[in-house]
Amino acid sequence: MTEDERIRFELHAHTDASDGLDTARELLDKAREAGIEYLAITDHDTVEGYLAAERHLISDAAGLRGAEDAPANTMARPLQLIPGIEISSQYEGRDVHMLGYYFDPTHEPLLDKLEQARLRRTERSAHMAEALRHDGYPVSVELLDERGMTINRTNIARLLIQGGVVDSIDQAFATLLGDDAKYYVDREDISSIEAIELIISAGGLPVIAHPHLYRVDDLIEPLAEHGLRGVEAYHIEHSAFDAARLAHEAQRSGLLVTGGSDWHGDQLHGASLGASLLPQRYLEEFLAADPRA
């Protein structure tokens, strides 16, 4: 296959509706510039970024956007959006991030659960921000609001960088915000089984996110018994060896294999948009598994 024939894609990306930096418009433009044909916006707990991107696509197709505002390198093949989500969940006390794809983004029971999850995330992050502010760190809910930043741990880390407290998001998590750090506040998440069932009930495919990064490789098998359909084997923080091993195990269990860069618009995870090393045959199987087709 030549470089031109390769399907370009991004199956794991965040907008500023959750903890990414790009607006939906910016992400769409970057994706087009990178020649991406399939883009799944997988924000934490919200489909607002996806819905905004969908509206932009429709108005672009209708020619409502001035030519001077359009990105220079508009690709011949149009970009397709895949509905996506990343849900934080728990299985026997362990954190599991569950990706969902191809679901109906207007499915009310899903939207209700996502709203509850957003409230829990906002509340816990606000507690963390206030405890940091109390101890003199340049962080507060007001500051997040002022800068138009959604209230979450990643954006608190960005405020700590802007305030000169730490040099990187990783350092902020390692010293102040991580699960073992002083300012960490726990949060109740839905169970992984409930997350799987919710995605399926909305017509989608549940895929476990970065299992090796979260040290939950051993949960793939039990979760598959509850309807898990795929494994994000290829992730920027998985070695090539681990990705290939996970892909092999997933295929053997009849699961789909996916990959994405976990793009957040900045240094987080060190990825660049569309940079996943997921082999094309897995991508093609994933695209062919679209239940809406």
Give CA separation, 83 vs 48, 229, 284, in Å: 11, 16, 17
Region of 27-35, 107-115, 172-180, 260-268 interacting with Mn ion (CB under 5 A): 260-268
Contact map string, positions 67 to 96, toward Mn ion, x by CB under 5 A: -------------------x----------
Choose from ligand AMP, Mn ion, none: what does 88 bind? Cβ within 5-8 Å by kind.
Answer: ligand AMP
Which residue's CB is nearer to Mn ion, number 128 or number 209? Answer: 209
Which residue's CB is nearer to Mn ion, number 60 or number 83? Answer: 83
Q: How many CB atoms lie within 10 A of CB 146?
A: 9
- Binding flag, residue 19, Mn ion (CB under 5 A): yes
CB of 235 to ligand AMP, least distance (A): 11
Q: For residue 44, what are the β-bridge partners? A: 86
CB of 255 to ligand AMP, least distance (A): 22
Contacts with ligand AMP by CB under 6 A lie at 19, 88, 153-154, 169-170, 173, 178, 264, 268
Region of 56-64, 118-126, 261-269, 278-286 interacting with Mn ion (CB under 5 A): 261-269
Choose from Mn ion, ligand AMP, none: what does 54 bind? Cβ within 5-8 Å by kind.
Answer: none
Choose from Mn ion, ligand AMP, none: what does 153 bind? Cβ within 5-8 Å by kind.
Answer: ligand AMP
Alpha-carbon distance 100 to 122, whole Å? 21
Which residue's CB is nearer to Mn ion, number 8 or number 97? Answer: 97
CB of 147 to ligand AMP, least distance (A): 18
The 8-class DSSP code of residue 7 comes to P
Residue where the block lists tokens 């290939």: 244
The widest CA-to-CA distance across the chain, in whole angstroms, is 58
Alpha-carbon distance 16 to 38, whole Å? 20
Which residue's CB is nearer to Mn ion, number 22 or number 262? Answer: 262
Q: Torsion angle of alpha carbons 106, 189, 197, 248, nearest 10°? A: 110
Q: What proportions of the chain, in percent to the nearest 5, are helix, strand and coil?
A: 40, 15, 40
Alpha-carbon distance 18 to 184, whole Å? 19
Alpha-carbon distance 276 to 13, whole Å? 11
Alpha-carbon distance 149 to 156, whole Å? 9
CB of 152 to ligand AMP, least distance (A): 6
- Binding flag, residue 45, Mn ion (CB under 5 A): no
Identify the residue among 262, 273, 276, 286 touching Mn ion (CB under 5 A). 262
Which residue's CB is nearer to ligand AMP, number 79 or number 156? Answer: 156
Alpha-carbon distance 3 to 80, whole Å? 20
The residue ranges that bind Mn ion (CB under 5 A) are 19, 86, 97, 209, 262
